[in-house]
Structure 1
Amino acid sequence: MLPFVGALFAPLLTRVMKHNAGWVLAAVPLLVFVHFAGMLGIVGSGATVSAGFDWAPSLGLRFSWYLDGLSLTFALLISGIGILIVIYSGGYLKGHPHQGRFFSFILLFMGAMLGLVVSDSFLMLFVYWELTSITSFLLIGFDHGREASRRAALQALLVTGLGGLSLLGGLLVISQATGVNELSSLLAAGDALRNSPLYLVALILVLGGAFTKSAQFPFHFWLPNAMEAPTPVSAYLHSATMVKAGVYLVMRLNPAMGDTAAWETILPMFGGVTLAVGTLLAVRQTDLKLMLAYTTVASLGLLVMLTGFGSDKAIEAAALYLIAHSMFKGALFMVAGLIDHETGTRDITGLRGLRKAMPVTFVAAMLAALSMGGLPLFFGFLAKEEIYAALGAPEGWQAALLVVAICGNALMFAIGFAVALRPFVGAAAKAPKAAHEGPMSLWLGPVVLGASGLAAALVSPIIHRFFSSPTASAVAGSPVDVTISTIPHLGVPLLLSGLTVALGVAAYLGLDRLRGAMVGVLKTIGWGPDQGFDQALRGLLRLATGLTRVIHNGRLDIYMTVTFIAVAAALLLPMMLFDELPSIPSIPEFRFYEWGVLAIAVIGVAAVVHARSRLTAIVSLGIQGFAVALLYMLFGAPDLSFTQFMVETLSVVILALVMTRLRLAPTDHRPFGQKLVDMAIAGACGAGFALLLLKVTQLPFDDRLSQFFNTYSKTIAHGRNVVNVIIVDFRGLDTLGEIAVVMVTGLAILALVRIRSKKVEVRATVAEEA
């Protein structure tokens, strides 16, 4: 909850603290980080932390949270990197008129992402899942004056929002199949979900949510477009946090849904394709952020592929790469933003020789690139070694996954060093702004994250104890002990790692030629999912327009006809189909005055039908209401009778006033055939209501409410008139609503009268002037 509180006060604090607000607001994620860090000992020992409270006990809904190695690692990454991002945002958006709003948005997202990863109940998970989509929409579209930003924000919202609906369906199916509403209970249910006939449906729906959130092919296009957001957003949402929500979901559900042919086929296949597509499209780019964005797509594909591979080694590799990627990619994104902030461009073809002007940034960039390239002494090296340990002895089609992993890692090596090395070496190129080192708030984050990749590898036994092993154990659903160290060991993984580095160096040296080749390939292909998204939206708008023209054609008579046909069908068809028609009672012996009331009603109907003008029909329509009021009075309900008289009078007045202001023909010009159709529809509606009321009166009377009101009207409400007590006390709010309706109606009548009066006055004035 703390980030949400911080978001509430962020705009005010920004106005007070001016340029130092980032440093002060960083205390929010710092406190969150300290809070979760205090649980490392408990979770590191293999225990879990769970709590919550009932939200809607009758529905089995709880607001509950669950911490194990996976959720705690995510929570610490979110809050830890969040500290650096908030500080970085203060320097990056210094002087921006809406900096306070940005801080509020970023803290809202932080709270949403934290809530997502610690959620236990399905409802809480879904609520926070959708909240991350909404807050990311606000952040991506922060520069809302630019059309590209608005389009990217809308695209991200639509894609991830539709995925959220898919996830909701999956959670409901899981609940139906297993009878549980919490993740902890689902993980403890063993094979209950896997053995259910609803498993495949649940899997497809859940993966629909995960794949859209984590930008898996063919939903990958929204993530690079989201680079229209300010760089702090790119560094936080689209490398370390939000885009990993889908990865978190598949990791979380692996113990309950993994170890099946469908799981171990769909995830590696889509993950492998995403890895290949992401790296190839990254080669095509010249914008630093886009290069990193597409490698993020590739990395997410690698994580999904490893999670679906099925072995403990693959799970260990996924846990290590999850941590390594958050550090080096967050650092490189901040480096790209720092270069853009200080030089005025992110185009790699126009950046050279920044090493002397920006030495601290260069060091931070190289530290991150060395980890991204998987070189020894860095945490990325441990992750890559474990990846090849998992994929190094493939069988059958899994050999293709190994080839994809090697080529993908080699291209990511090339892109990482292209971002971290090319802008800083060589002769200085002319940039839009004179380059110089940025303030501490901008380079602190890249330096800390880049150095963390080195430090984490050097103290890997400690990292494995508190992070890697608990995370892998949570994903595997059984104890996993990660032991890999920074000391290289001869074997297949090291050989494959060396091959990757060699291919990566070759790709780096020939990056310009590779880029040209990819440009040609993409021009040949032409169409892509991003263009398809625009085409789908245009098609949807055309469909909506055409459907609207058919359904909403502007003719009130058609609207009324369709409405009354639906009413008649809703009343009559259920009674006919389910044999619930009432028995027709015999005509009772009426007293003479009761015959008189009935005669008044019949005369009113005849007057409405035979009226030659609309005004006469409206006035005649009130006769039925007055007849009903007389019935209330005859049967001892004077209060209801008085109310009926008032309502009927008011209805006639309103209808008459409205009709006098509409341009309608004074008489009904419908052809005789149309009148017959309308008469049949009206008769069906009347018969439906009559039969329904007869059926209700023939059911056994339940007098529990009557007894309640008779018993408690005097003792609780201190009133003898039961009807008055019901209206004023037991239904007080309902009565208040009715009074409000009458008041609004009176105001509407008054407005109509005044409009007419003003028109008359204007005409009179014009006539006098003429």
Structure 2
Amino acid sequence: MPEMTSDLTWVAMLLPFAAAVVAPWLTARFGAAAAWFLALAPALAFAHFAGFLPEVAAGERVTGGYAWVPSLNLSFSWFIDGLSLTFALLITGIGALIVLYAGGYMKGHPQQGRFIGFILLFMGAMLGLVVSDSFLMLFVFWELTSITSFLLIGFDHSREASRRAALQALVVTGGGGLILLAGMIFIWNITGVSQLSLLLSTGDALRESPFYLAALLLVLGGAFTKSAQFPFHFWLPNAMEAPTPVSAYLHSATMVKAGVYLLMRLNPVMGETPAWEILLPFFGGITLLVGSILAVRQTDLKLMLAYTTVASLGLLVMLTGFDTEHAVEAAVLYLVAHSLFKGALFMVAGAIDHESGTRDIRKLGGLGKLMPITFAAALLAGISMAGLPPLFGFLAKEEIYYALAGTSPRAILFTAVAVIGNALMFVIAFAVGLKPFIGPDGDTPKHAHEGPVMLWIGPLTLSVLALLGALFSGIAHRFVTSPMASAVDGELQTVTIGLIPSLGAALALSVVTVILGVVLYMGLERLRAAVDRVVTGLGLSPDRGFDHFISGLVRFSTSVTRYVQNGRLETYITASFVFVAIALLVTPFVYGELPTVLNLPTEFDLHEMAILVIAVIGVIAVLTANDRLTAIVCLGIQGFAVAVIFLLYGAPDLSFTQFMVETLSVVILALVMTRLKLSPSDHRPALARLMDGSLAIACGLGFGLMLVAATSGPFDGSLSAFFAEYSKIIAHGANVVNVIIVDFRGVDTLGEIGVVMITGLSILALIRIRVGGAPAAPVLAEPVPSDVAPHPAPPKKKRGTAK
């Protein structure tokens, strides 16, 4: 496939971030009107990506980027084909309308600038996600969408419900992101590539790998949590605690489709396997039914739309995993249609709430004559959601049935699931897009009227686009849906469906859906009550399950922390040495790396024997000492013996360092012991002594085996030769040891100096403690906070005063 390069795409990717930086300042200066300026950033990005439409429609792909860590094949790169381009246009185009909508919806709010800034930050993160070529870039932007959505969902942080919903979304989607990271590492190791553009050219490498199923499950874990698939669907309706612009943008048109985007992106290299074609339709079908059934139970406009978003995401996942010829085309059509009508309906719901003071459908009615423009936008979007002509949703629904219809039991099952789900979404479409605007006037807290232009320009634009996309379907297919379907399928696809349906099973299923939808809509109140009774009777709630999970996790973490971090230095040291012993002993035995030859000297000189004898005497003295001070002094014998060994074997610099360290250690420890007046003898029980002695022997044995194994092999002098050759040339030093310490490993030496400094400060603090009395006065007098200041002493009574 031919490719073209673009060097300005990074500018378009950074535009939303740049606008987010100046959003608070502009809003503080110009108020709601600043939204018109801020919307220029996504509008310019939209224009940039729209410029690629002719090339992408002709079958080209746009690439570009910069090498970051070439040795690890890491890069800051982008990859634009039909799939990523469609997402980029939806993100920036709808994003520009959402910024305007937020300007009108949040007008007068003291934190309006911060809110729009968060929206723009999320926009930049989502845009980076869909155009990223590098695995690392995709993961970074993936997690950034979780973080920014956390900020947006919890924007009204004074409300407990908002804080809980934000935390829930962050835990579910952020945790899924970590699972996805593991999946991408699997893919990286299997294929050897770290870029999506190269991954698509690996053919069946992933499918034929024995680790394919593990990689697939990890990828599905990330995608299902992000796109709210059952049983992770509960976080999305709870996210409706966010202001309506967030719901209209994040949780209908963009963020929740990130998982669907990932599945579509990986379909050419991971699809067409039994696991793919079983798991995706199964979980997608369940999500479709659960979301659509729970939607009719709601009375809040936003919650009704939220649950149908869950259902729509399930339908997209089901179609992506289906193995028929037109399933990919149906998924592409429905994704575009859903972004248009659901974004519009969410903004309509927000406008109704903004102008009437309520989103309760039971209190709404007769708004059509009061809000005519909003009514027009709502009706068009509702018709598209219901799958009726002449809107783009009709094309998507016809293609869905055309892809699913068949005579096999599997085809019949999933076709029935699609019919039921679409019929229930038909009900919600007109319950939101029609019912509040017709009939008698409702009982609303405020007298409604048409909102400002910022509130209706967004939904009206999206609704008109859905109409134009259907009327001029040939143009839409040529530039949008056909290139997108080709990218998802991995082969050239041409979408041809138009407004004039052909007689067949698809049209018959569409008629059945409409009839069923009309019947259910006429009995909406009874249907809502029946669903509520069933759901209440079952008592199943993944939402409550999440609360129990978090509560149990907190209790478990608290217990582990109390056990591991108990404040006893002895526990920490023991744990450290246990893991050291395990690392030194278990690994050689498991992998058969024990030394086979012991290169021990057969003859010792008299002075060498003397040093060994002194070391042994020092060990015995330490073990038999009656008090700790004597043990510390005897412990210095070991260090001095090692220093003498260094000296005998030609390392005077190292020997001098060892002498200094041992002298200072003995002096400082002795000083600390005398000042602290610790117990003069060891009162540990025999079992504790035995365990500590065994641990010490295990660590000593492990280090001994490691040294023997290291010295028994052939000596590699390449590093020594390098230092000897380049110390003078590079570091201008003749003393190789000093050059290594100061220049070649200067950062390491700096860290050691920092450790010594911290140790010295700790020792100083210990020395200044007065045993048996009040602590010494602090060196620096600092003000004491009032909430931790000691209570003042009671005033002394004066002589002669009455009691």
Pick the TM interval, shorter chain.
over 0.9
- What residue is the counterpart of 2:275 in the other structure? 262
Segment drifting more, 415-424 vs 196-205: 196-205
Matches within 5 A, 1:448-463: 448-463=461-476
Tell me the secondary structure at the aligned position of residue 64 of structure 1: strand
**One-letter code of the match for 1:100?**
G
Aligned residue type for 2:249: Y
- Which residue, out of 129, 132, 135, partners 1:116? 129
Aligned counterpart in structure 2 of residue 586 of structure 1, from 601, 610, 618: 601
Q: Which residue matches 2:79?
A: 66
1:706 maps onto 2:734 in alignment:
no
Q: Taking structure 1 as reference, are residues 689 and 514 closer, same or farther at Cα in structure 2, changes over 3 Å only?
A: same
User: Which amino acid is 2:320 matched to?
Assistant: T
The CA deviation at 1:289 is 0.7
Correspondence 1:279 to 2:283: no
C-alpha distance in 1 between matches for 2:174 and 2:30: 36
**1:38 is the counterpart of 2:51:** yes
**Aligned-residue offset at 1:558:** 4.6
Asked if the contact 2:20/2:118 (under 8 Å) is kept, the reply is yes
Alignment deviations for residues 481-514 of structure 1 (CA, whole Å, 9 cap, x no partner): 2222223444433333232222222222211111
Deviates more, 1:608-617 or 1:748-757: 748-757
Q: CA-to-partner distance for each residue in 1:174-221, whole Å, 9 max, x for gaps?
A: 334434333333333333333333333333222222222111112111
Instruction: Read off the aligned partner of 1:169 and give its amino acid letter.
Output: A
| Aligned CA distance change for structure 1 residues 50 and 696 (closer, same or farther; 3 Å) | same
Q: Does 2:775 correspond to 1:730? A: no
Report 1:271-350 matches (<5 A). Answer: 271-350=284-363
- Structure-1 residue corresponding to 2:379: 366
Aligned: 1:516 with 2:543 = no
Could you tell me which runs of 5 or more consecutive residues in structure 2 were left unpaired when the two chains were aligned: 1-12, 779-792, 798-803
Q: Amino acid of the residue matched to residue 751 of structure 1?
A: A
Question: Structure 2 counterpart of 1:501, which letter?
Answer: V
- For 2:257, give the aligned amino acid: K
Tell me the distance in 2 between the aligned counterparts of 1:80 and 1:31. 9
**Residue 294 of structure 1, CA deviation:** 0.3
Q: Hey, what does 2:238 align to over in structure 1?
A: 225
* Partners of 2:594 and 2:705 within 8 A in 1: no
Structure 2 distance, partners of 1:761, 1:123, is 53
CA contact (8 A) 2:501 2:507 kept: yes
CA contact (8 A) 1:170 1:202 kept: yes
Question: Among residues 480, 485, 497, which one is paired with 1:472 in the alignment?
Answer: 485
Aligned equivalents of 1:198, 1:674: Cα separation in 2:
46
Q: Say yes or no: does 1:434 pair with 2:447.
A: yes
Q: Kindly indicate whether residue 710 of structure 2 is the aligned counterpart of residue 696 of structure 1.
A: yes
SS in 2 for 1:163: helix
Paired amino acid for 2:716: D
The answer on whether the counterparts of 1:312 and 1:480 sit within 8 Å (CA) in structure 2 is no
SS state of the match for residue 759, structure 1? coil
2:684 is aligned to 670
What SS does structure 2 have at the residue aligned with 1:66?
Answer: strand
- What per-residue deviation string (whole Å, max 9, x for no partner) do you get for residues 348-367 of structure 1? 12222323332222222112
Report the alpha carbon displacement of residue 717 of structure 1 after superposing the two structures with TM. Answer: 2.5
Q: 1:702 to 1:390 in 2, by over 3 A?
A: closer
Instruction: Give the SS at the match of 1:438.
Output: coil
The Cα offsets for residues 123-168 of structure 1, whole Å up to 9 and x where unpaired, read as 3322322222222222222222222122212222222223223323
C-alpha distance in 2 between matches for 1:541 and 1:419: 40
Query: Which runs of structure 2 are paired with 1:205-216 in the superposition (5 Å)?
Result: 205-216=218-229
Per the alignment, do residues 279 and 574 of structure 1 end up closer, same or farther by CA in structure 2, a change over 3 Å counting?
closer
**Residue by residue, what CA displacement relative to the aligned partner does 1:13-60 show, whole Å, maximum 9, x if unpaired?**
333433322211111111110110000000111222223343333333
Please identify, of 357-366 and 667-676, the stretch whose mean Cα deviation from structure 2 is larger: 667-676
Name the CA distance, whole Å, in 2 between partners of 1:198 and 1:335: 47
Q: Alpha-carbon deviation of 1:589?
A: 3.4
What CA distance in whole angstroms lies between the structure 1 residues aligned with 2:582 and 2:270?
A: 45
1:101 aligns with 2:146: no
CA offset digits 1:437-481 (Å, max 9, x no partner): 222222211111111111221221111110111112222222222
CA distance in 2, matches of 1:761, 1:211: 60
Partner amino acid for 2:197?
Answer: S
Conserved 8 A contact 1:582-1:691: no
The correspondence of residues 466-615 of structure 1 with structure 2, limited to 5 A, is 466-548=479-561, 551-552=564-565, 556-575=569-588, 577-580=592-595, 582-583=597-598, 585-586=600-601, 588-592=603-607, 597-598=611-612, 600-615=614-629
Structure 2 vs 1, CA of residues 164 and 662 (structure 1 numbering), >3 Å: closer, same or farther?
A: farther
TM-score, structure 1 normalization: 0.93
Q: Deviations over 1:700-725 (max 9, x none)?
A: 32222222222222233222222222
Instruction: Tell me if the contact between 2:595 and 2:705 (Cα under 8 Å) persists in the aligned partners.
Output: no
Indicate how the Cα distance of structure 1 residues 607 and 586 shifts in structure 2: closer, same or farther if over 3 A, else same.
same
Contact kept, 8 Å, 1:394 with 1:402, in 2: the verdict is no
Aligned to 2:458: 445
Of stretches 56-65 and 308-317 in structure 1, the one that deviates more from structure 2 is 56-65
* Structure 1 residues 302-356: Cα deviation after superposition (integer angstroms, max 9, x where no partner): 1122222222322222111111110110011111112222233222122223233
Q: Following the alignment from structure 1 to structure 2, what is the Cα–Cα distance between the partners of residues 410 and 659?
A: 81
Q: Which amino acid aligns with 1:106?
A: I
1:424 to 419, 423, 437: 437
Structure 1 residues 664, 509: CA separation in 2 closer, same or farther (over 3 Å shift)?
Answer: farther
Change (3 A) 1:662 1:542: farther
- Judging changes above 3 Å, is the alpha-carbon distance between structure 1 residues 437 and 613 closer, same or farther for their aligned structure 2 residues? farther
Contact map agreement 2:337 2:392 (CA 8 A) in 1: yes
Shift of 1:402: 1.7
Aligned counterparts of 1:249 and 1:761: Cα–Cα separation in 2: 63
Structure 1 alignment gaps of length 5 or more: none
CA contact (8 A) 2:594 2:709 kept: no
Partner of 1:244: 257
Which stretch has the larger CA shift, 64-73 or 383-392?
Answer: 383-392
SS state at 2:437 partner: coil
Q: Does 1:183 align with 2:189?
A: no
- Alpha carbons 1:143, 1:229 under 8 Å: kept: yes
List per-residue Cα deviations over 1:55-97 (Å, max 9, x = no partner): 3333333433222111111110111001011111122222333
Question: Structure 2 counterpart of 1:368, which letter?
Answer: A
The answer to whether structure 1 residue 85 and structure 2 residue 98 are counterparts is: yes
TM-score by length of 2: 0.89
Aligned length: 766
Q: Specify whether residues 760 and 328 from structure 1 end up closer, same or farther in structure 2 by C-alpha distance, changes over 3 A only.
A: closer
- Evaluate the alpha carbon distance shift between residue 575 and residue 316 of structure 1 in structure 2; reply closer, same or farther with a 3 A threshold: closer
The separation in 2 between residues aligned to 1:169 and 1:729, in whole angstroms, is 38
- Paired position in structure 1 for 2:759: 745
Once the 2 structures are TM-superposed, how far is the Cα of residue 244 of structure 1 from its aligned partner? Answer: 0.9
Q: CA deviation at 1:578?
A: 3.1
SS of the aligned residue for 2:517 comes to helix
Return the letter of the residue paired with 1:73: T
CA distance in 2, matches of 1:640, 1:688: 23
The CA distance in 2 between the partners of 1:678 and 1:687, in whole Å, is 14
CA contact (8 A) 2:79 2:133 kept: yes
Tell me: CA distance 1:564–1:386, structure 2 relative to 1, closer, same or farther (3 Å): closer
**Secondary structure of the corresponding residue to residue 202 of structure 2:** coil
1: CA distance, partners of 2:183 / 2:50? 32
Amino acid in the other structure paired with 1:698: S
| Aligned with residue 635 of structure 2, among 621, 643, 646 | 621
- How much has 1:291 moved relative to structure 2? 0.3
The aligned runs of 1:152-191 (5 Å cut-off) are: 152-191=165-204
Shift of 1:257: 2.4
User: In 2, Cα distance between the equivalents of 1:438 and 1:119?
Assistant: 38
Distance 1:730 1:326 in 2: 57
SS at match of 1:144: coil
Higher mean Cα deviation, 53-62 or 36-45? Answer: 53-62
Change (3 A) 1:9 1:756: farther
Distance 1:399 1:9, change over 3 A: same
